[in-house]
C-alpha cells in the first residue's frame, strides 16, 4: 500500500501543472491576428488606445491568474481528501454499511449458486 502511494505521489504532480498551464493553439485566432496586424507605429505619434489596451490586458491576465490559482487550490484540496481516504479507509464509511453490502453480495452469490444446481 505504501509503495502504491509513493508511486502515485511521484507520478501525479507534473501532469497536473502541465494540463492546467498548457493550452491548445487556436489557429483561427492567430490567423485573424496576422490579417489585422496594424502597421508599425511611427515614433512621433503616440498610440491613442495603448494605455487602455494595456489596462484591459492586465485585467484579463489577473483574472486568468486568479482562475488558475482557484483550480490549483481545488486540485490540492481534492488530492488531500483522497490521500486522507486512502490512508484511513474505515474513516470514510460506516462499518454497518460495509456489512450490509457484504451480506447482499453473499445472498446474491448463494442465490446464483443454488440456481445452478
- 90-102: per-residue pLDDT in tens? 665 666 777 888 8
**Residue 90, domain member (yes or no):** yes
Query: pLDDT value at position 114?
Result: 83
CB 85 within 8 A of CB 92: yes
The three cell numbers locating residue 57: 490586458
**Residue 88, domain member (yes or no):** yes
SS3 44: coil
Tell me the C-alpha distance between 69 and 64, whole Å: 9
User: How many domains does one find in the chain?
Assistant: 1
Burial class (CB in 10 A: 0-12, 13-18, 19+), 75: middle
Instruction: Give, in order, the Cα–Cα distances in Å from 88 to each of 84, 91, 92.
Output: 6, 6, 8
**Residue 66, domain member (yes or no):** no
pLDDT < 70 positions in the chain:
1-49, 89-95, 117
Query: pLDDT value at position 113?
Result: 84
**Residue 49, domain member (yes or no):** no
Expressed as residue numbers, the domain containing 31 is 2-38+71-116
Query: pLDDT value at position 99?
Result: 83
H/E stretch holding 40: none
**Residue 54, domain member (yes or no):** no
Q: Alpha carbon 105 to chain centroid distance?
A: 35
Query: pLDDT value at position 82?
Result: 86
**Residue 110, domain member (yes or no):** yes
**Residue 57, domain member (yes or no):** no
The three cell numbers locating residue 87: 490512508
Amino acid at each position: 500500500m505504501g509503495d502504491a502511494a509513493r508511486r502515485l505521489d511521484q507520478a501525479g504532480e507534473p501532469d497536473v501543472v502541465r494540463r492546467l498551464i498548457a493550452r491548445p493553439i487556436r489557429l483561427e485566432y492567430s490567423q485573424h491576428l496576422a490579417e489585422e496586424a496594424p502597421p508599425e507605429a511611427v515614433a512621433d505619434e503616440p498610440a491613442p488606445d495603448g494605455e487602455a489596451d494595456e489596462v484591459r490586458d492586465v485585467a484579463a491576465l489577473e483574472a486568468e491568474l486568479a482562475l488558475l490559482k482557484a483550480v490549483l487550490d481545488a486540485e490540492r484540496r481534492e488530492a488531500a481528501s483522497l490521500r486522507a481516504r486512502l490512508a484511513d479507509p474505515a474513516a470514510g464509511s460506516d462499518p454497518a454499511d460495509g456489512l450490509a453490502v457484504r451480506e447482499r453480495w453473499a445472498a446474491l452469490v448463494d442465490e446464483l449458486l443454488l440456481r445452478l444446481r
